Structure 1
Amino acid sequence: MDYQASRDVNPTGRSIELDFVRGLAIIAVMGMHFHTVSTGSQWVALIEYPLKNFGREGVNLFFTLSGFLVGGLLLRQYAHSGSVDARRFIIRRIFKIWPAYYALILFHVLAGRHPTSTFLYQNLTHMQNYLGSSIAQTWSLAVEEHFYLFLPALVLLFARLRVRANTILWTLGALCVVVLAARCAAVASGELEAASAYTQYRIDSLLIGVMLATVYWMKPELYRRIAGQKLLLLAVVAGTVVWLVFLQRNLMLEESIGYTIQAIGFAALIVLVLEYSGAIRGARLYRAVAWIGVYSYGIYLWHSVALAPGDVFIRKASAFGLPVMVAWGLALALQFAVAIIAGYAATRAIEFPFLRIRDALFPARRRSTPAAQPAEQHAA
C-alpha cells in the first residue's frame, strides 16, 4: 500500500492535512458570500463557479469533519477505557466554541448593525437555526452545539450497554437513514428552509463523520483496508464533484439526498487527504490553505465584516472607471484579506488564550498510539 503509515504533526500539535481540509471548507464559504464584479468573461465565470456555488457544501464539509474529529474524542476514550467522561468533553467544547462565539454576539450588540430582536435571544439560546438570526452564518454553529450534547449522551449509552464497534456503526447508520427519511419528507412537504437548517434534518452529515471516526479508532484494520482503496476513494470524491456541478442546483435533490451524498464524498476526501497528500504537503499553496484552516473558526465567525468594505470598493471602482477585470480581482482579494485578518486576530486574541486556560484546567487525556495522534490533537 502507498498510503501514509503516519501523519506529520507540526509543533503546535495540529495535523496539517486536516487543517488543509478546513481551509478548503472556509474558502468555499467565503467565496459564496463575498461580492464580485460582473465581468462577462467565461474564464472568470469558470473561476468563480466553485466559489459562488459551493459555499453551503463548505458547511457540509465542516459538519463531516467535525463529526470525525469531535466524535473521535469520545470514541477514543471508549475504545481505550470502555467509558467516556461526558462532563469533561462538554466543558472542553465550551472553552473551544463559546468565547469567540459570544465575543461576536457582543460585538453586534455594541455595534448596533442589527436590531437585537433579530439575533440576540436566538443566538444566546443556540436556537438560531430554528428561530432565525440576522447574523446568518451562526445557524450551523447551533447544529453543532446540539450535536455536542446529543453525541456524548449516545456514546454514554453505548458504554452502559457495552456496545461493540460493529453495533455502533449499524446504530449510527440507522440514525442516518432516519434523518435522511425525515429530511426527504420535509422537502416533499415544501419545508426547504427547515430541511437545510434544522438539526434533526442535518445531523446525518455529522453522524457520517462519527462513523468514520468509529472505524478510525475502533476498527483500525478496516480503516487500513478502506484507506488502501485509493481508486475507490478517488471515484467517490469524483462522483461527489459531478453531483455538485450538475445536480446541486436542483434544490429538491440537494436538500433531500444531496446532503447525504456530499457527506459520504467528504468522508472519502478526508481519508484521501490524510493518507495521500504527503507528496504535495510541502507545496506553498497546500500550506497556505492549511494555514487558513488553522483560523477557520474565527474566519467563519467574522468573515461577514468583509462584505461592507467589498461593496464600498466595488462602487468606488465603478465610479472611478477602474477596468472591470482589475476591479473584480481587487474586490475579491480585499474581501478575503479582510476576512482572514479579522479571523486571525479574533483567534489569536480570544480563541487561543481560552484554549490555553482550558488546557491548564482540563488537560486532554492522551492514550492514543503515535499514528493516531494527529486526528485527536487537531480535534481537542
Structure 2
Amino acid sequence: MKRIASLDGLRGWAVAMVFIGHAERTVPGGYSGILTPLKWFSAGDLGVHLFFVLSGFIITRLLLGEFAKTGRIDLANFYLRRTRRIFPAFYIYLIIIGTVGAIGYLSIDSRQMLVATFYLWNYAGILGLDSLSKASPDGIWYLGHFWTLSLEEQFYWFWPALFIFMMKFRRTWVLTALIVIVPSIRIVSYFMFPAVRGQLNTMFHTGIDSILVGCLFAIHQERAKILFSKILDSKAALTCLTLVIFFLFPICHHYLRGYWTATYLRTFEAATIGVFILALAIGKDFFLRSVFLCRPVLFLGTISYSLYLWQQLFNGLNEGMAFGFPLSIAETLGAASLSFYLIEKRFNARRPHAIEPSAMR
C-alpha cells in the first residue's frame, strides 16, 4: 500500500497527545509552571478519537483498492496482515507485564490478563473487572489502555464482511444507518444503565460510530470532496477547521463531558475529523500540514503502535517502573523504537501487501 505521509504524521501527532497526557502522572503536581503549555497538547481523548476515525478511513481504503482490482476481498490475507501487524508486539508486552506481575512487583489479577488477552477490555465493567480496581490497581493501569485496541479488533472482525455485502449489493446506506443508530443506543444506555456511563465510548455497540465515520469518508471520498469543497479549497477554512479540532474540541470535552461524549456531538466531532483527514489525504496545503510532514512527527507516526503499547509501562502508578518526567518520555520512545525495529518491522516485512486504491493515486 502506498502510504500517505501526512496521515502518518497525523498518527504521530495523535499518539504524542496520548502519551504526553499520560506522562503528566510522573510530574509532581502535574503540568504547571513552564510545563503548563503541555496541558494544551496532551488531550488524550482527542488523540484516541483521531486514531479511531483515521483507522476506519485507512482500513476501508485498503479494502476499496482490493475490491476495485479483483472484485473480491481476500479475507485470509486481510486477517493475516492484521495478525502480523498487531499480535507479536502486543503479546510480548502482555508476557512482560504478566511476568512482572507474577513475581509480585505489580498487582495484576489473572482475570485482568485474561480479558486483555482476548481483546475484551472495552467490556471490562460488564465483565466485573471494576471490582478488582482496589485489589489490583496496577492491572487497571498497565492493561487498561487496551480498551482501544479491543474496540479496533472487534471492528476488524465485523467490518470486512459488512463491506463485502455493501459493495456487492450496493447497500452503502447500511453504513450511514449504523452511524445514526449507534449514538442513539449510546444515549439510551446513558439513561437506562447508569453503571456503564463510563464505558459508553469504549464498548463496540455504543462506541463504534467514530470508526465507521472514517469508513464512510473513505467510501464516499469523491462525494465528500464535492460536499465539503468550500472548506477543502480554502486555506483559511482549513486553518479554522484545524483550530476547531485541536483547540475547541478539547475544551468541549473538558466542560461538557458526558453531554458531549455520550451524544451525537461525538459523532459530529468524528465527522469534522473526517473532513480534516480527507484534506490531508488529497494533499491540501494548510496550517499544521507541514508539521505533520516533518521528520520527528513522521517517525512518531511510524512507531505509533509500539508507542501506544509501551507508554503505559513508563507513565504508570508504580513509580519503580519509571524515572519520572522527562525521562519517562525518553524511556517510552526508547522502548517503542526497540519494539518497532526488533518486533514489528520483522513481522511486517513478511506480510502480504495490500492493493493501492486507484482513487488515491
- When normalised by structure 2's length, the TM-score is 0.81
Whether 1:269 aligns to 2:279 is no
Question: Residue 372 of structure 1 aligns to which amino acid in structure 2?
Answer: M
Question: What is the correspondence of 1:214-363 to structure 2 with a 5 Å cutoff?
Answer: 214-216=219-221, 222=226, 225=229, 227-228=232-233, 230-240=235-245, 241-257=247-263, 258-274=265-281, 275-277=283-285, 286-307=294-315, 311=319, 331-358=324-351, 362-363=352-353
Residues 244 and 79 (structure 1), Cα distance of their counterparts in 2 relative to 1, 3 Å cut: same
- Structure 1 residue 231: Cα displacement: 4.5
Identical-residue share of aligned pairs (%): 25
Question: What is the correspondence of 1:184-203 to structure 2 with a 5 Å cutoff?
Answer: 184-189=187-192, 190=194, 191-203=196-208
Residues 352 and 41 (structure 1), Cα distance of their counterparts in 2 relative to 1, 3 Å cut: closer
Residues 62 and 30 (structure 1), Cα distance of their counterparts in 2 relative to 1, 3 Å cut: same
Q: Is the contact between residue 215 and residue 222 of structure 1 (CA under 8 Å) also seen in structure 2? A: no
Q: Is the contact between residue 189 and residue 197 of structure 2 (CA under 8 Å) also seen in structure 1? A: yes
Question: What is the correspondence of 1:126-165 to structure 2 with a 5 Å cutoff?
Answer: 126-131=119-124, 132=129, 134=140, 135-161=143-169, 163=170
Residues 39 and 92 (structure 1), Cα distance of their counterparts in 2 relative to 1, 3 Å cut: closer
Question: Residue 211 of structure 1 aligns to which amino acid in structure 2?
Answer: L
Selected match of 2:360 from 356, 365, 372: 372
Separation in structure 2 between the aligned mates of residue 341 and residue 174 of structure 1, nearest angstrom: 44
3-state SS of paired residue (2:220): helix
Whether 1:38 aligns to 2:38 is no
Separation in structure 2 between the aligned mates of residue 81 and residue 39 of structure 1, nearest angstrom: 53
Q: Is the contact between residue 23 and residue 292 of structure 1 (CA under 8 Å) also seen in structure 2? A: yes
Count of aligned pairs: 334
Show the counterpart of 1:328. none
Whether 1:26 aligns to 2:15 is yes
Over aligned residues, Cα RMSD in angstroms? 3.1
Q: Which moved more, 1:151-160 or 1:232-241?
A: 232-241
Residues 252 and 107 (structure 1), Cα distance of their counterparts in 2 relative to 1, 3 Å cut: same
3-state SS of paired residue (2:83): helix
- Structure 1 residue 44: Cα displacement: 3.8
Question: Residue 215 of structure 1 aligns to which amino acid in structure 2?
Answer: H
Show the counterpart of 2:47. 58
Residues 335 and 195 (structure 1), Cα distance of their counterparts in 2 relative to 1, 3 Å cut: same
In structure 2, runs of 5+ residues without a counterpart are 130-138
Residues 250 and 74 (structure 1), Cα distance of their counterparts in 2 relative to 1, 3 Å cut: same
Show CA shifts across 1:95-151 (max 9, x none): 111111111111112122343424221022211111256311111000000000111
Q: Which moved more, 1:335-344 or 1:189-198?
A: 189-198
Show the counterpart of 2:64. 75
- Structure 1 residue 210: Cα displacement: 0.5
- When normalised by structure 1's length, the TM-score is 0.78
Q: Is the contact between residue 186 and residue 200 of structure 2 (CA under 8 Å) also seen in structure 1? A: yes
Residues 61 and 251 (structure 1), Cα distance of their counterparts in 2 relative to 1, 3 Å cut: same
In structure 1, runs of 5+ residues without a counterpart are 1-11, 317-330, 374-380
Show CA shifts across 1:233-267 (max 9, x none): 44444444323214533222132134313212221
Residues 271 and 333 (structure 1), Cα distance of their counterparts in 2 relative to 1, 3 Å cut: farther
Separation in structure 2 between the aligned mates of residue 58 and residue 221 of structure 1, nearest angstrom: 24
Show CA shifts across 1:195-218 (max 9, x none): 0211111111101111111123x6
Separation in structure 1 between the aligned mates of residue 151 and residue 321 of structure 2, nearest angstrom: 34
Selected match of 2:218 from 213, 216, 225: 213
Separation in structure 1 between the aligned mates of residue 201 and residue 31 of structure 2, nearest angstrom: 31
Question: Residue 295 of structure 2 aligns to which amino acid in structure 1?
Answer: R
Residues 285 and 85 (structure 1), Cα distance of their counterparts in 2 relative to 1, 3 Å cut: closer
